[in-house]
Amino acid sequence: NLTTRLASVIKNIRGQARLTEDNIQDALREVRMALLEADVALPVVKDFINDVKQKALGVEVLQSLTPGQAFIGVVHNELTALMGTTHVGINLATTPPAIILMAGLQGSGKTTSSGKLAKLLTEQMKKKVLLVSCDVYRPAAIEQLKTLASQLGVDFFPSTGEQKPLDIALAAQDYAKKHYHDVLIVDTAGRLGIDEVMMNEISELHRSLNPVETLFVVDAMQGQDAINTARAFNDTLPLTGIILTKLDGDSRGGAALSVRHVTGKPIKFIGVGEKLTGLEAFHPERMASRVLGMGDVLSLIEDAQRNVDHAEAARFADKIKKGKGFDLEDFKAQIQQMRKMGGISALMDKLPGAAGAAIPAGADEKAVNRIEGIINAMTPQERSKPEILKASRKRRIAAGAGVSVQEVNRLLKQFEQAQKMMKMMSKGGLSKMMRGMKG
């Protein structure tokens, strides 16, 4: 949880009765770093940090809390508030057909999200849905939606590249009325960047259709740019909500904060995969944790830089980022660094990475000493290739370290776990792994 996550940066503000400019400075800087690292747009970070500072200054620290906990409380509240506090679902409260207009740049995920929404509305809300594409510029785009519709068994209103977007949409609306569809999802054309023709076209569609939902679809991987796109669409259209896509990738979700900040509109759904099942309700608290998530890794690296020599720290940071071949030698190096950084237990809370996974919860210094002893008893070759450790080698190592063979086996299993963790970090990104850990 957040309290443990920022534990290291706030430990220096213990034992004071009030949060002051002085005692929250380091913690503020840490939060700022975490937000920037998550790709939150700079102006948004600045505003947020100012807000948190104003809210935090003078906050009295309750007797039951440390000042650090009080500060975390402020950060957490502010971030969650900015994200929207509660989940807001889709609004269909209108005379049918309720029209959902999809807006966003090309490639943001409008067509895919149209299909996902159709699936959700059909299966979970038992609505009769009609899909239509107004993307007349790319024939493949209409075809793409048609394919999704047939996969889902949802009605599709055909269109061609020769028609005008507005004509298509009005004809579909008419058809939906006559055939008693509850919902009409209107997929539109995007552009690679903000473009006046696109904006005029989508405003015209909006004016004529009067949709109950105008959803801005935005790619979370867009990072810093998301703020400009969001501003342009929000200035042109009365948006009712946002779908943040591609959160299954490396993105830490900083775009969520930027987009919220600029539009003030609720993020209603997140896209978490290319498949039609990859649509989830947005939960502000989870996103707040995700956005702040890497702060602890950053602080870990910072700690490492303070306490161990710089070359070693850089190598360690590099390993974390790239998930490169991680062997028992590295494992041992990590354990030694952990010592220098103030003990195992302080680190367990902060380190989501390999060593954190490899050392069983509740491990104490003694257990770690034994692990180190076992690794010391191995030859360099065995450390870099643990798979060569068969029974006779294990017996020799156990004897050398003064432990049982079972204990050697346990360590190897834990190490294997750690390697898997490293692979996940390199493949799916840290955020994915951390989401996995929180279950």
Q: In the complex, what is the shortest distance from the CB of residue 290 to ligand GDP, in angstroms, rounded to a whole number?
A: 15
Q: Which amino acid is at 174?
A: D
Of 253 and 295, nearer to ligand GDP (C-beta) is 253
For the chain, the residue count is 439
Q: In the complex, what is the shortest distance from the CB of residue 141 to Mg ion, in angstroms, rounded to a whole number?
A: 5
Of 106 and 236, nearer to ligand GDP (C-beta) is 106
Instruction: Give the strand pairing for 183-187 and 129-133.
Output: parallel
Q: Does 108 bind Mg ion (CB under 5 A)?
A: no
Q: Which amino acid is at 169?
A: A
| Residue 47: both structure tokens together | 């505003």
Contact of 194 with 202, CB cutoff 8 Å: no
SS3 213: strand
Sheet holding 98-103, edge to edge: 155-157, 129-133, 183-187, 98-103, 213-219, 241-245, 267-271, 279-281
Q: Is 19 annotated as a binding residue?
A: no
Residues pairing with 433 in the sheet: none
Q: Is 187 annotated as a binding residue?
A: yes
Phi, psi of 197 (to 5 degrees): -60, -45
Of 245 and 263, nearer to ligand GDP (C-beta) is 245
- The window from 134-142, 295-303, 332-340, 354-362 that contacts Mg ion (CB under 5 A) reads 134-142
Of 218 and 397, nearer to ligand GDP (C-beta) is 218
Selection from 26, 8, 15, 33 nearest residue 254 by Cα? 33
Q: In the complex, what is the shortest distance from the CB of residue 238 to ligand GDP, in angstroms, rounded to a whole number?
A: 20
Q: In the complex, what is the shortest distance from the CB of residue 423 to ligand GDP, in angstroms, rounded to a whole number?
A: 19
Q: Is 188 annotated as a binding residue?
A: yes
Residue nearest to ligand GDP (CB): 271
Binding site for ligand GDP (CB under 6 A): 104, 106-112, 190, 245-246, 248-249, 271-274, 278
Q: Is 127 annotated as a binding residue?
A: no
Interface with Mg ion (CB under 5 A), residue total 3
Q: Is 246 annotated as a binding residue?
A: yes
Q: In the complex, what is the shortest distance from the CB of residue 274 to Mg ion, in angstroms, rounded to a whole number?
A: 13
What dihedral angle (degrees, nearest 10) is formed by the CA atoms of 23, 350, 280, 40?
50
Q: Is 264 annotated as a binding residue?
A: no
Q: Does 141 bind Mg ion (CB under 5 A)?
A: yes
Q: Where are the alpha helices (DSSP H) in 124-245?
A: 139-152, 165-178, 196-209, 226-236
**Residues at the annotated binding site?**
104-111, 187-191, 245-248
**Residues at the annotated binding site for GTP?**
104-111, 187-191, 245-248
> What residues make contact with Mg ion under the rule CB under 5 A?
110-111, 141
